[in-house]
Every structure is written in structure tokens, then in C-alpha cells.
Structure 1
Amino acid sequence: MQNYWNETEAAQISSDLDMRVYTSRLLGKDMNLVMHGGGNTSVKSQVNGEDILYVKGSGWDLETIEPAGFAPVKLDALLKM
């Protein structure tokens, strides 16, 4: 397995969601790890004092995913379910 991590690129990332986009794309580059369009990644973050879980949406390819490909869910509401 090739390591695609780039310390310089990673150091420029400032948010949890952007880091998850970056790492998801790295995973998506290796077809031995994910099938085209497949795979799931998520990240918990705080936005305006609220815990948010960003979950990769269906139909997004890990190799090319954008921040809009992650659905934000309020963690408190999710835990109540």
C-alpha cells in the first residue's frame, strides 16, 4: 500500500471537515481499499458550540469527494433517536 500522505498539504488544513475530505481522498486513491464510489468516512466536530457528525453521503466517490458530500447531523438529535 502506498502512503499518499503529504505533510505540507495536511499542515494547511484548518478544519475537521476539510481534514476528513483530505483523508477520504487519500483512501479513495487506492482501489485495493475501496470500490469506485464506495466506502464511508465520517468525522465529529464542533460548530458554534454544537457537536456535529459529518457523514459521507451516498453517491460521492471517496477519491473526489468535496465538503458538500458530507451530511451534517447534530449529534444530540442523533443520540436521542
Structure 2
Amino acid sequence: MTSDDRASDTSRAPGRPRTARDLNSFPRIPVTPETATLTGILTALGAAVITLIGATLGGMAGMRYHRKVDRVGLGR
């Protein structure tokens, strides 16, 4: 521990364990707020498109299944 670390450690009471607020050594991802916003919007749009495609394919598969079941159930 360097003298600078000890100087910044004065806010912590003796014997109190370190918390996440006491540590400032977490890695940072160099992302601007604009990039993060754009990435969030694109991710949300991608999730919506994938959900829509999945719902459409599921609906088509269900419709096909129920048509087969109805044909057999009606004796045709």
C-alpha cells in the first residue's frame, strides 16, 4: 500500500472491511454516452425483431398443427 492509498483510506473506519465504494480499481469500458445509447436502441430493436419473427413462426406452426388435429377430429 503506498502513502497515497493510505491517505485516501482515511474515510474508512479502522477495522471496517473494504466495500465496492472503497475500491476504484474496477475496469472501465471506454464508451461514450452516445455510443451506449445507440447500442441500447439497436439491441432493443434487434430483440423486438427476433421476438416478432419467433411469434410469427410459432403462430404458423400452431395453426398448421391445429388444422391437422381438426381434420382428424372432424373425421374428414
Tell me the TM-score normalized by structure 1. 0.22
**Structure index of larger Rg:** 2
Pick the structure with more strand per residue. Answer: 1
Relative contact order, higher structure (CA 8 A, sep 6+): 1
Tell me the TM-score normalized by structure 2. 0.23
